[in-house]
Structure 1
Amino acid sequence: MNQAIVPVARLFGPAIFEATKLKVLFLGVDEKKHPGKLPRAYTLTHSDITAKLTLAISQTINNSQLQGWANRIYRDEVVAEWKKVKGNMFLHVHCHINGGNFLLDLCARLRYFIFSKELPVVLKAFVHGDGNLLKHYPELQESLVWVYFHSNVPEFNRVECWGPLVEAAAPSSSGGDDGGDGEKQEMFGSKWEWPQPCRDDCNCCFPPMSLIPWSPKHPNKNEEHGTQAAPNPNIIE
């Protein structure tokens, strides 16, 4: 049991965002430039030593943050990218639940629960860290957030629509121990359609390929709860 708990110990902690604990790095991007004009990705990691979050804002995920034995064991990073599909901006967020590490496999359900509970903190970190961008382009606050949970367990290998960023980044009002997931699914239902890019070359979808090296294959839609079964992940190196 102790071994099963170890891989979740580094996940972000109390679901309260503290700006003083966030370090932001801009790597090759203008903090005021619209992501529809420049590939823009977020890499968020947590330090056990300092209890601080590090957010890199760059044109792709910041692999240097993900090196080292601790990151490879705990896999508590969250990576995200802005994508424009048929002229509309979406924020795609990726979490590694389990796979590639037998310790993570032992606690997939717990990790899914914790990631779901902590995601508003993660999204708030994105909003705060990239605040100048959202100040100059406030319409991005209304962009839909699609969250990919990557797992080799079908139950947790899924995609969920968390609704507009301004709502998804807000703390859960449920006050329960379910991380707000039941309330979220009931609220969002299946009213939002999966963003399908144009089949031919166009100027309304950007970037043309994902900035994040997980399988680009689109999952099959599950109409019941507005969620989708996600493809098996390729481990980020």
Structure 2
Amino acid sequence: MGSLILPSKLKTSSSVFDHRQSSLFFKTPKKQKKIQSPVARLFGPSIFEASKLKVLFLGGVDEKKHPGNMPRTYTLTHSDVTSKLTLAISQNINNSQLQGWYNKLYRDEVVAEWRKVKETMSLHVHCHISGGHFLLDLFARLRFFIFNKELPLVLKAFAHGDGNLLNNYPDLQEALVWVYFHSNIPEFNRVECWGPLKEAGGSSFIRGPTTSIDMIPNPCQTDCSCCFPPMTLITWSADALNGRDSDGVNEGQNV
């Protein structure tokens, strides 16, 4: 695996889908023939540039359909070749963005879903820190640091790419952002509340402490009309996460 780079500015290009797509935070030098130990090179604060973001609306999802009534997910990846971000907005995670050895090795995609729990909307964001590959375990602390540093940019990409939805439903700007860091190492396997969406991506944002399981919004345990969707749309490899998150919640439960 090549050196891990935290990009400051992204280069322009046309082609988005490539077999080496989805290196959101970590970059591999060209003409690399052998897998090497990753080395972090952290630049200054990342700057979101709208011109570098490609947005795809898939499966009939558009800004007129509220996520409290129709499933809505975000799949954000970065192409190491084109240096462009690709955001797919759809009813389910866009697995076609996450295929290939490159993504399986780096696991630096960010996926998210809107959920309505007891009539309250919230955005649930998921990052894979470690598990499934020994290099991810070895550099878990670095990955955790980089994901934290880059998440404000990610949230800005979500807000910009789905701007029409947020303009049509301004209450969604007040929705709390819950960030799930998935890791097989307890120290980095955690859930945090990053506050309202309109503040979570700001430069002055200060993230809060690890969230207690009691604070995570849980849907009703019986059929109801105040929660949607009833089950989380985010699925992760049981091999990578040992089937549980940091608070002992079985993978795939209503979290």
TM-score (norm 1): 0.81
Question: Which of 29, 43, 46 is equivalent to 2:78?
Answer: 46
After TM superposition, give the deviation of residue 198 of structure 1 in Å: 1.2
Aligned counterparts of 2:6 and 2:188: Cα–Cα separation in 1: 16
Alignment of 1:1-237 (within 5 A): 5-6=3-4, 10-12=23-25, 14-28=45-59, 29-171=61-203, 173=204, 183-185=206-208, 193-214=215-236, 229=247
Change (3 A) 1:114 1:232: farther
Aligned counterparts of 1:58 and 1:112: Cα–Cα separation in 2: 27
What is the letter of the counterpart of residue 213 of structure 1?
Answer: T
- Corresponding pairs, count: 212
Gaps of 5+ in 2: 8-22, 26-42
What is the letter of the counterpart of residue 165 of structure 2?
Answer: L
Instruction: State, as a whole percentage, how many aligned pairs show the same letter.
Output: 69
Aligned counterparts of 2:216 and 2:247: Cα–Cα separation in 1: 12
Aligned counterparts of 2:144 and 2:186: Cα–Cα separation in 1: 12
Aligned counterparts of 1:17 and 1:31: Cα–Cα separation in 2: 22
Aligned counterparts of 2:140 and 2:5: Cα–Cα separation in 1: 10
Q: SS at 2:158's partner residue?
A: helix
Gaps of 5+ in 1: 174-179, 220-227
Change (3 A) 1:95 1:202: same
Q: SS at 2:208's partner residue?
A: helix
1:59-97: per-residue Cα shift (whole Å, max 9, x none)?
Answer: 000000000111111111000000000000010000000
Bigger relative contact order (CA 8 A; separation at least 6): 1
1:178-200: per-residue Cα shift (whole Å, max 9, x none)?
Answer: xx7xx4227x988x932121121
After TM superposition, give the deviation of residue 16 of structure 1 in Å: 1.3
Aligned counterparts of 1:189 and 1:156: Cα–Cα separation in 2: 13
TM-score (norm 2): 0.76
Q: SS at 2:195's partner residue?
A: strand
Aligned counterparts of 2:119 and 2:157: Cα–Cα separation in 1: 25
Contact 1:158-1:230 within 8 A present in 2 as well: no
Q: Which moved more, 1:206-215 or 1:145-154?
A: 206-215
After TM superposition, give the deviation of residue 233 of structure 1 in Å: 6.5
Contact 1:148-1:230 within 8 A present in 2 as well: no
**Which structure 1 residue ranges, 4+ long, deviate > 3 Å from structure 2?**
3-14, 228-234
Contact 1:150-1:233 within 8 A present in 2 as well: no
RMSD: 2.6
Change (3 A) 1:16 1:231: farther
